[in-house]
Structures are given as C-alpha cells and as structure tokens.
Amino acid sequence: MKANKQRVQEKKLELENVQEKMFSVEEKWIKNEIAKDTYDRWYTNYNDTIQNLKQTIERLNTDLSKVFLILEKNLSLLTDMHYVYNKSNILQKRDFINMVFDNNLYYQEGIYRTPTMRSIFTHNTPLMKEKGCLIYEKKTG
C-alpha cells in the first residue's frame, strides 16, 4: 500500500508537469505563436497523457481490500464448471468447449470424440468413456 501511495505522488507530479505543458501550448496558440496544426498535435498528445495519468492515479487509489473480499466470496464459483457453463451464453459455451478440447471435439457413431483435451480435465475421461459420453483418444508421437 505504501508503494501505491508513493506511485500516486509520482503520478500526480507527472500530471502537474503535463498540465503545465498543455497550458503553455494553449497560451502560445492564443498569442498566435504557434500554428493550429501544431497546437492540435500537442494538445492531443498532452490530453491523452493527462487522461492516462488520471486513470492511473484513480486505479492506484482504489481500495483493494474490497476487491479481494468480493473475489474471496465468489472464488468457489470459478471452480464449479457446471455453474460456469450454465451461466454462460451460447458463444461463451462454444468458446469454453473449444478451449477444453482444443477445437478438436467431434461427434461420430453416437459418441463425442477428441484427440486433445486440456490436462486439467482429463481425470474424468475413463468415467466419461464408461458412460458413453466421450472417447478421449490421446494423440501419440
């Protein structure tokens, strides 16, 4: 947390410097010391930097304890694949299946088959084969 406070101070100083530069560019344009295209280029550059710095400062000032409480409260849901799958929309379900089976799931002779599967999911393959749900024929060599 102390590191964040120090970074916030550094970013605030950086923000002040960039705002001063932007003010200087605006002042030069008002006094007709620079052309409009030069002003536009520097204004855009400084404005983008200012917005990024403000977002960084806001992010660094965020109380992470609330975030961790929410994460801790809902962490168990991430390991419940049935829940994750059922809460997903159709595109998310497709992406999930493609991820698990590495885009190699197919249906043949009344049963799903795959030569590839993420190792984290392979522990149930004998049971799935026994129930006639899936045949996992791992690629060799």
Q: Is 78 exposed, middle or buried (0-12, 13-18, 19+ CB in 10 A)?
A: exposed
Mean pLDDT value across the chain: 86
pLDDT digits (tens, 9 = 90+) for 53-106: 999 998 888 777 777 777 777 777 667 778 888 889 999 888 888 888 888 888
Matching residue, tokens 């660094």:
60
> Could you tell me how far CA 99 lies from the centroid of its own chain?
17
Q: Which helix (H) or strand (E) holds 14?
A: helix 2-30
Closest of 72, 49, 69, 64 to residue 3, by C-alpha: 64
Neighbours of 84 (CB within 10 A): 14
What are 92's strand-pairing partners? none
Q: What percent of the chain has pLDDT over 90?
A: 40
> What is the token pair recorded at 44?
């855009």
pLDDT of residue 21 exceeding 90, the answer is yes
pLDDT of amino acid 76: 72
pLDDT of amino acid 45: 94
CA atoms within 13 Å, Cβ hemisphere of 52: 8
92 close to 86: Cβ distance less than 8 angstroms: no
pLDDT of amino acid 103: 84
53 close to 15: Cβ distance less than 8 angstroms: yes
Which stretch of 31-35, 77-81, 84-88, 125-129 has the lowest confidence by average pLDDT? 77-81
